[in-house]
Amino acid sequence: MSPKVVEIRTSTALGSGIVYDSQGDVVTNAHVVGNSTNVTIRLADGSRHPASVVGTSPGDDLAIVRLTGAAPSPATFADSSRLQVGDLALAIGNPLGLASSVSNGIVSSTGRDIPEGNGVMLKGAIQTSAAINPGNSGGALVNLSDQVIGIPTLAAVDPQMGNSAAPGIGFAIPSNTVRRVADRLIAGH
């Protein structure tokens, strides 16, 4: 899966993305691209490519960016409605800029409605014990069949610990939601 997970840089943010289709579209979190219209994508082979933002859905915290000059093979997306608590999960991304990092865990819960901030409520989120660190946002939460089951987007914080990250509690947007929103954003371009 690592070759299908890319690093996304804007002038103010660092995150991850997943190659969505053979046209060079990459799906990521809307909060990764923010208000940027152009971003730089680094592929797993280290090459850097310009990309433009095709569309964003801030309410779903999803965005599509399109690569210029490359069309790597896309990831395979699983049916997230089939997830069960206890399923093994791997989070793949670029936490703190460390390319193609992987953390492991399980699906701890499904169907969580989680406030993300800025008025955004993530509906039906996957809770996972796989570590979600800064830079993992927009990357891939995958099953052991190398299929995307979700997009990591948020680590829980503990208000009693000064809002530091609560270990072992992260959230991902389910793959079925990702596909529905990504297809809509691409079709609207």
Given the residues 25, 61, 103, 108, the one annotated as active site: 61
Predicted pLDDT of residue 1: 55
Same domain, 85 and 167: yes
- Does 65 lie in the same domain as 44? yes
* Annotated catalytic residue within 31, 36, 60, 101: 31
Burial class (CB in 10 A: 0-12, 13-18, 19+), 46: exposed
**90 plus 65 within the same structural domain:** no
Catalytic, 31? Answer yes
Q: Which pLDDT belongs to residue 42?
A: 94
Q: What was the pLDDT predicted at 34?
A: 92
Residue with structure tokens 């395979």? 76
**pLDDT at site 161:** 64
Name the residue range of residue 146's domain. 80-174
Residue 49 among the catalytic residues: no
Closest CA to 136 of 4, 28, 15: 15
**Span 20-44, pLDDT tens digits:** 999 999 999 999 999 998 899 999 8
Residues 90 and 164 in one domain: yes
Report residue 161 CA to chain centroid gap: 26
Q: Are residues 48 and 114 in the same domain?
A: no
**Residue 68 sits in a domain of what CATH number?**
2.40.10.10
Same domain, 87 and 63: no
Are residue 88 and residue 108 in the same domain, yes or no?
A: yes
70 lies in the same domain as 98: no
The reply to whether 135 and 52 lie within a common domain is no
Task: Note if 81 is an active site residue.
Answer: no
Helix, strand, coil shares of the chain as percentages rounded to 5? 15, 50, 35
What is the phi-psi region of residue 31: left when phi exceeds 0, alpha when psi lies from -120 to 50, beta otherwise? alpha
Report the domain count for the chain. Answer: 2
Place of tokens 């509690």: 169
Active-site annotation holder among 16, 108, 137, 175: 137
- Amino acid identity, residue 73? S
Segments in the chain below pLDDT 50: none
- Count other C-beta atoms under 10 Å from residue 188's C-beta: 10
> Which tokens is 3 given?
């070759």
Measured over the CA atoms of residue 46, residue 100, residue 150 and residue 58, the dihedral's sign is negative
